[in-house]
Structure formats: C-alpha cells, structure tokens
Structure 1
C-alpha cells in the first residue's frame, strides 16, 4: 500500500474514529451467578411473603410486582451504562413477578406445574425466535441496543417464571422434595460449568440453560429455608428468609459496585445488525476510546 493511501486511511480514521458503547449488562462471572441465585431465591420467598404470608393473593401480587418491574426496567433501559443496583433490582423483580405469575397460572388457574412449565417454555421459545429473527446479537454481554435489551428482559421474565414452575414440578409433582431438588439442580449446574470449559457446546445455549435452572434452584432453596419442617423445610418463615436474602443481595451489589469503580467494565463495539451488518442505534453512552 502506498504512503498516500496509508495517509488517506489515517485521515479517514481520524475523521470517523471507531465508536464504542458503554456496557449496560454485566460480565458473566462467578459473582454474576452468585448474585443471580441470591436474587432468584429472594424472588421465591418475597413472592410467597406477599401472596401467601400477607394473604394479598397471587393475582394482586402479580399485578404489584409486574408494575414494579416495569418501573425498574424503564430505569434500566434509560441508563447509559451498567448500574449494579438498577440491574439487580430488575432481576429480583422478574423473580418475584415470575413466582406469583407462575403460581397464579398453576394453582389459581388450575393448569398444574407441568402445564405451566409447558406454556412458559413455549413463550420463552417464541421470544428467542423473535430475538434471533430481529438480527440483534445473542451475546448477552454485548447487547447494546434498545430492542436487544428489551428482548433480553422479556426473556428473563419468562425464564424466571418457567423456573418457578419447573422447580415446583420437581419438588412437589415428582415428590423429590426441596433439599433433594436443590442438590440435583446444583449438580446439573456443575455439569453445565464443565461443559462450558471442556466442550464446544454453544456458550449462549449453556448460558440460557443455566439461567433458567438457577430459578428452580433458587425456588427450591428458598422453600427449603422458609417452609415448615413437615413440608421438608427449615421453618425460617418467608419474612426472616426474605430479610436474610435481601441483606446478602445488598452486600453483594455493594461489593460489585466497588469492584466496577476500581476496574470499570470495558465498552463494547458499536452495535450492528447480525443479519444485515447495518449499524444500529446504541442505547448506552458512546465513547471513542475503548481503553
């Protein structure tokens, strides 16, 4: 390449510097999974606290939690970069809303745990199909558009609802019990971790399987702590269990926030449509220097 063309290329890069977008979703690390399990366990006990202990009922509780979820997700969608407190609030609310929504369908609606799991699996499959057809990236760490993030949160809401139904089906319908179900699900999670490191199975497939399974893991763990002993639990009650889990979640969020202040998350490249290659409007803060 001639010096003239090199100079023209440099000038072009200076006039149109590479664009990057501040990351809005966290890296998938051990801390992420710890926070996810605590948040989903909190969702199980928090949902039961409002619907059962306080006798608000599944329908009203679902309306309340979905309304809170919508408010929180608006703040998340409007944020210009990753905010741990906002992100994990939305995750916790998808778990509480998922708990009461699943119980409303399965118990009040009378379709049963297996029927609820089937309906929610179908809904989640439809969301993933729309997501794939939209051309948005399926890499959950690099989602950087409004449409992509919106699909991400819809998928999470359905996955957490599905997790409640599948956890109840495993513990109650199959008669395995809360503690044994938690052990089985923990074993499956370890197998998924091994598959991630030692096989070539698609990483996003493993992520979503693990993401769905952390919900029944949290549900069975929450029930194991809060339910009476004659139901296989430790009889902590929903109030004390919810308070303990909320405290742990807050401590972990503070720790993650401190980590990010010391080591900011790397930005992601400006988004392009996966199918067409056309640039798309980012929904995070734009930066020109990835360092």
Structure 2
C-alpha cells in the first residue's frame, strides 16, 4: 500500500540511494565506515544518518516483498534471514570483511524485523497472526531489557583491549 501516494518501489529505491550516498560520503570524508572509529562529531552524524535511512529502507523493503510482491510476511522474513545467514557465513570464512558484513547484515535486520513485526501483528486475513501490536511489543521489550541486563552484569560483550 502506498504511503502518501508514493509506492513501496519508489520509497525502497529512494532510501537505498540515500543510504548508499551516506556511505559513500562517509567513506570519502573519513576513510572508514567502522563503528569502532566513531570518535568525532562528523562521524557520529554520518552514523545516525545511516541508521535513519536504514530504518526507513527496512520498513519499505520489508513491506515491498511482503505486500507489493505478495510474498507474505513470514516468507519475506525468511528471505532476509537467509541473506543475513549468507553474510555471516561469508564473514566467518573470510570472504567478507568485518565492516562490510556488519553493515550489510545490519541493514537487512530492519526489513527482517519489519516483516516479523507485521507477521505477528497483522490480521490473519492479511497473512499475519493477528496478535496486535501491544503483546509482541511488550514481549520484545522484556527480551531487550533482559538482554541488556544480562550483558551489563556479565560484561560478555566487552572487547578486551
């Protein structure tokens, strides 16, 4: 369904171009796209621009596959998850560099999340489970709080210098 009269194809293309332009300008300016080197205000601006366009692109791309191309929410999520798995395997076996693998997987988590969220929340007649938005949102909030609490106390995510 078009938002404000703009099709999902157009929004997916526009946000893809904006994200690509952000990465090109960021790399030309800073010579890195590594999130571990976000130590200046300019790098932080590039980072947040990439995040903004990633979220918008993720919603558009997820809806494009699921709704416009009529694949359905769960099959669309499966496609995005499979591509993320291929990226992880490519990184694991040294075919893909860490920075590229991170950003490629990160960008794809957005349409994966949008597809899964729609699958959980949308009505059964529309291909979803019909759980609404509140229940799944609360469940995800509890999971996120649990993970943040675990990582904060265990410090398993801390990289030793």
TM-score after normalising by structure 1: 0.52
- Structure 1 residue 175 displacement after superposition: 0.5
Q: How far off is 1:209 after superposition? A: 1.4
Match of 1:107 in 2: 3
Identify unmatched segments of 5+ residues in structure 1.
Answer: 1-102, 267-289
Q: TM-score, normalised by structure 2?
A: 0.91
Residues 264 and 163 of structure 1, relative CA distance in 2, 3 Å threshold? closer
Q: In the alignment, which residue of structure 2 is the partner of 1:249?
A: 144
What CA deviation, in whole Å up to 9, does each residue of 1:1-51 have, x standing for no partner? xxxxxxxxxxxxxxxxxxxxxxxxxxxxxxxxxxxxxxxxxxxxxxxxxxx
Q: Is structure 2 residue 16 aligned with structure 1 residue 126?
A: no
Shift of 1:208: 1.4
Q: Higher Cα Rg: structure 1 or 2? A: 1
Distance 1:228 1:168 in 2: 15
Structure 1: distance between partners of 2:81 and 2:7: 24
Separation (CA, whole Å) in 1 of partners of 2:101 and 2:45: 21
Q: Classify 1:137/1:227 alpha carbon distance in 2 versus 1 (closer, same or farther; 3 Å).
A: same
Alignment of structure 1 residues 147-226 onto 2, 5 Å:
147-226=42-121
Q: Label 1:263 to 1:111 Cα distance change in 2 as closer, same or farther (>3 A).
A: closer
Change in 2 beyond 3 A, CA 1:263/1:163? closer
RMSD: 1.9
Bigger relative contact order (CA 8 A; separation at least 6):
1
- The total of aligned residue pairs comes to 161
Partner of 1:17: none
Q: 1: distance between equivalents of 2:80 and 2:30?
A: 33
